[in-house]
Structure 1
Amino acid sequence: MQGKWKGFIAALILFGAQPAMALTLNEARQQGRVGETFSGYIAARQQDNETLALVKRINNGRSAEYQRIAQENHLTTEEVARIAGAKLVERAGAGEYVRGLNGLWMQK
């Protein structure tokens, strides 16, 4: 299962790729507009339409991927999301925001 997670994390990064002129996940992270959470989903730190649309698109893609992985590994979608969330929070880059278990945002 370890090998699957490496590919899975790479796939999550690809969900952030978008056409030119649109906000990307990496841009939103670097600008502090979104942050990773232990739930496995990103959350908006800014409430503008562009950020909210990005969050919805990324989280929809993650949800579908979590469901697929859960079925393959006889886990619940929530278990997969929590495992992914812990890994994504851990891998957040310097200066990016993560929301702690206490619900508060902190910058890495």
Structure 2
Amino acid sequence: MAHKSALLLALLLIATPSFALTLDEARQQGRVGETLSGYLAPVSQDSETLALVKHINAARAESYQQLADRNHLSADDVAKMAGEKLVARARPGEYVRGLNGQWLRK
């Protein structure tokens, strides 16, 4: 399970959709942040950011479900495990949403 989770997270971290804005750029610009739910959330509410978040989260949901099915877990459990890792791995200057629902800059 740990190996599969690491592979999934690596794929999620390097996935870049064919948008003008990439996930790394959005993170660096403070337009998006990671949450403990395992899903990306918009910090900025512009259409480009919202489209990116929707695309990334759809891909994550699909990946979480596939991993959950293979490991006899719920997709929510997989998402929460991924969320904890994504928040912990956020780079300095990037946003994460804390337990209190507030954005924090690492």
If the TM-score is normalised by the length of the shorter chain, which range does it land in? over 0.9
- After TM superposition, give the deviation of residue 18 of structure 1 in Å: 3.3
State the secondary structure of the residue aligned to 1:52: helix
> Which structure 2 segments of 5+ residues have no match?
none
Q: Distance in 2 between matches of 1:38 and 1:86?
A: 5
Paired residue total: 106
Gaps of 5+ in 1: none
- 1:26 matched to 2:24? The reply is yes
| Matches of 2:26 and 2:56, distance apart in 1 | 12
Alpha-carbon RMSD across the aligned residues, in angstroms, is 1.0
Matched residue SS, 1:35: strand
Equivalent residue in structure 1 for 2:76, among 75, 78, 84: 78
Question: Which structure 1 residue ranges, 4+ long, deviate > 4 Å from structure 2?
Answer: none
After TM superposition, the structure 1 = structure 2 runs for residues 79-98 of structure 1, keeping only pairs within 5 Å, are 79-98=77-96
Query: How many angstroms apart in 1 are the aligned matches of 2:28 and 2:64?
Result: 25
SS in 2 for 1:12: helix
2: distance between equivalents of 1:83 and 1:96? 19
SS of residue matched to 1:84: helix
Aligned to 1:8: 8
Name which of 28, 41, 48 aligns with 2:46: 48
Correspondence for 2:56 among 55, 58, 78: 58
Percent identity of equivalent pairs: 58
